A = this chain, B = another copy of it.
């Protein structure tokens, strides 16, 4: 009986998004035991959302056992103060700013809880069960409304001083490029996010408020605007390529992943992207470097959150210092 319990050791990952709230129980060997999904009831207020979250976790715990539960990981869109377990800032969940999410949930459950940024969790998910299984270092760019990212080095998330590492969306790719709300010009996310694709479609008079998906459909259709729409993805690919070349020169990691809404357009933007990378990174030309679509889709953050309780505490700096 004990051996069996050990073999079903599992954790619960929670993906708390601005729209959806999902929780999954995953075994240490990566099997999904069960999953619960629903909407994030932000209108009901923060406490209601936390209640929903705790209810989902309890439901999974009751189903698969409290003994075998290693812990809970929660992925949240926003900047996380890892030490304090706080959401420091979040555009999607402003009600959670400054709230001790980790300790509050942990107290209610009597289990350790780890709070993590959603893009970081997604990078960890891809490392554990996705495109990055066979490497210990990878860099993930998430293309959405903005562009986020996660960095895995030696199998650990690189957080930076205050959890702001991996802000790839605000890397400057064109020093005099499109203005960004952050105060800069030429941020990657103003040239390569889903939002940027829509904006370029507007500039080319393809239509107002076209989604990246719709622009992709135009680009792959046989309408008169197909070429213009393809040009948008070429432009997006160039911006991504400049950013990726810089990241490759910085990290010399074996794997760079892209995820998010525009991924189906891979064949449209990848040639320009890879062309820039090839030209702008001799590291890329000299070290076997993979640039690939992420494979876990929406599950990446959920799986990555579930992975966290298994990892144990981060290694400290060498004792020598």
Contact = CB atoms under 8 A, between A and B. Distances in A.
Interface of A: 28, 127-128, 136-137, 151, 153-156, 158-168, 170-175, 182-184, 242, 245-247, 249-254, 279-283, 285-289, 307, 310-312, 314-321
B161 A253 contact: yes
Chain A binding site: helix, strand, loop or mixed by DSSP?
A: loop
B168 A249 contact: yes
15 contacts: A127-B321, A136-B321, A154-B316, A161-B252, A167-B252, A167-B283, A168-B250, A170-B249, A170-B280, A170-B282, A172-B173, A172-B245, A184-B245, A311-B320, A312-B320
Contacts of A307: 320
Contacts of A167: 249-250, 252, 282-283
B320 A156 contact: no
A10 to B, nearest CB: 13
Contacts of A251: 158, 160, 165
A172 B173 CA distance: 8
B317 A156 contact: yes
A315 to B, nearest CB: 4
Q: Which of A137, A163, A164, A170 has the most CB of B within 10 A?
A: A164
B153 A283 contact: no
Q: Which of A137, A151, A249 has the most CB of B within 10 A?
A: A249
Q: Which of A153, A156, A246, A279 has the most CB of B within 10 A?
A: A246
B128 A321 contact: yes
Given A161-B287, A172-B242, A173-B175, 14 more contacts: A136-B321, A161-B253, A163-B252, A164-B283, A166-B250, A167-B249, A167-B250, A167-B252, A168-B250, A170-B249, A172-B280, A182-B282, A184-B281, A184-B282
Contacts of A319: 312
Given A246-B246, A250-B165, A311-B320, A282 B183 contact: yes
Given A164-B287, A279-B183, A315-B154, A171 B321 contact: no
Contact of A171 (B166, B249, B311): B249
